[in-house]
Homo-oligomer: A and B are copies of this chain.
Amino acid sequence: MPYPDTITLTNPLDMHLHLRDGEMLHNIAKGSAKSFSGAIIMPNLVPPVSTKEDVTAYKARILEAIGDERFTPYMTLFFKPGYDRTFLESVKEEITAIKLYPAGITTNSEGGVSGFDVEELRPALEAMGELGIPLCVHGETNGFVMDREAEFVPIYEKLAAAFPKLKIIMEHITTKESVAALDRFENLYATITVHHLIITLDDVAGGMLRPHLFCKPIAKRPEDREALLKVALGAHPKVMFGSDSAPHPRHAKESCGCAAGVFTAPIALQLLTQLFEHHGAPLENLQKFISNTAQNIYGITPPKKRVILERKPFTVPQEYNGVVPMYAEENIDYTIKEIING
């Protein structure tokens, strides 16, 4: 059934966002802050955000960059196995989650975790569980590119079993194996990007090679996308929207060694609306996927914002301040008509 010509999304949240720093932060932060009520901000700067001072300073830079937009940056720390309870207690009020990267697995993740020894991780993860700080995880091994995420699922399960009080968010999942893991452990949750609901490896490398669709984790097989669609469109209570919108300057994408990341933040809500409608999913499921479920899982109350979309073709710009978005110069079905604060 088609959606009404005008629809309202309330308090949209992007539960996985890269805002970068410096010039790039200033170029792109407003794009997210305008149409979202808040976002989980990834800490993989150079150097990573790993102290209380880092977090407060980065948050201040973000707030400065977004100006008067009504938007909460939910801050994260870059997980280090050495974090102890005292440190975590001292930083608890400043952060919403902690992000764990396996070492060297994606952009600026060199200082991440190598090996996943439960006893080594126990002090930090047990304290996080007790303090109610969720652990967001980029779940990939360093195996073959199409297998990396599925190979990581046993690590998710090991952590979920060892730390039952810890909420573990499987970030930007791309495989049917990760989807299946969701229902095996009460404390496993997931974010899904909009691009992984749309593309497969075919779109990246099946025709021409398309660098602007290249990301980590790489888009997988059609049956993986089907599994993701099923839980996203069905508003699975443990599945949240997280764009993983990851801007790189055009030259870093269109060159000999293209950086990983798809830039979707400014078009995510329009695209998701089109996608949910196209698949015949109830509008209320979209509302859950882009806000309510995340509020439940994280226990957060975002600032009030209503995004009014109308059915009107929108030609995606070629660039947003030097960053090429997904669907650049193509039409999508919905346009943001108005954004109402409060």
Residues on A lying within 8 angstroms of B by beta carbon are 144-146, 200-202, 204-212, 214, 218, 221-222, 254-260, 324
The 10 closest A-B pairs by CB, nearest first: A208-B257, A209-B258, A145-B206, A209-B214, A145-B202, A209-B211, A145-B201, A254-B255, A205-B218, A144-B202
Q: Give A222 to B147 CA distance when docked, in angstroms.
A: 11
Minimum CB–CB distance for A220 against chain B, Å? 10
Which residues from chain B contact A257 at a C-beta distance below 8 Å? 207-210
Contact check, A200 vs B254: say whether CB atoms are below 8 A apart.
Answer: no
Oligomer: number of copies: 2
Which residues from chain B contact A206 at a C-beta distance below 8 Å? 144-145
Which residues from chain B contact A256 at a C-beta distance below 8 Å? 210-212, 254, 324
Which residues from chain B contact A205 at a C-beta distance below 8 Å? 145, 204-205, 214, 218
Partner of A200, one of B144, B209, B258: B144
Look across to chain B and name the residue whose beta carbon is closest to the beta carbon of A210. B257
Instruction: List 9 interface pairs A-B (beta carbons < 8 Å), by A numbering.
Output: A144-B221, A145-B202, A207-B257, A208-B257, A208-B260, A209-B214, A211-B256, A211-B258, A212-B256
Q: Report whether over half of chain A's contact residues are helix, strand or loop; otherwise say mixed.
A: loop
Minimum CB–CB distance for A151 against chain B, Å? 13
Partner of A222, one of B144, B201, B211, B214: B144
Look across to chain B and name the residue whose beta carbon is closest to the beta carbon of A259. B208
Partner of A209, one of B144, B209, B324: B209
Q: Give A209 to B258 CA distance when docked, in angstroms.
A: 5
Look across to chain B and name the residue whose beta carbon is closest to the beta carbon of A255. B254
Minimum CB–CB distance for A11 against chain B, Å? 35
Which residues from chain B contact A218 at a C-beta distance below 8 Å? 205
Which residues from chain B contact A254 at a C-beta distance below 8 Å? 254-256
Q: Give A260 to B205 CA distance when docked, in angstroms.
A: 9
Q: Give A201 to B260 CA distance when docked, in angstroms.
A: 15
Minimum CB–CB distance for A127 against chain B, Å? 34
Partner of A208, one of B146, B200, B258: B258
Q: Give A255 to B210 CA distance when docked, in angstroms.
A: 8
Which residues from chain B contact A260 at a C-beta distance below 8 Å? 208-209
Q: Give A324 to B255 CA distance when docked, in angstroms.
A: 12
Look across to chain B and name the residue whose beta carbon is closest to the beta carbon of A214. B209
Which residues from chain B contact A212 at a C-beta distance below 8 Å? 256
Q: Give A202 to B147 CA distance when docked, in angstroms.
A: 10
Q: Give A206 to B257 CA distance when docked, in angstroms.
A: 11
Look across to chain B and name the residue whose beta carbon is closest to the beta carbon of A221. B144
| Known A205-B214, A207-B257; further 5 A-B contacts with Cβ < 8 A | A144-B200, A146-B221, A204-B205, A210-B258, A211-B211
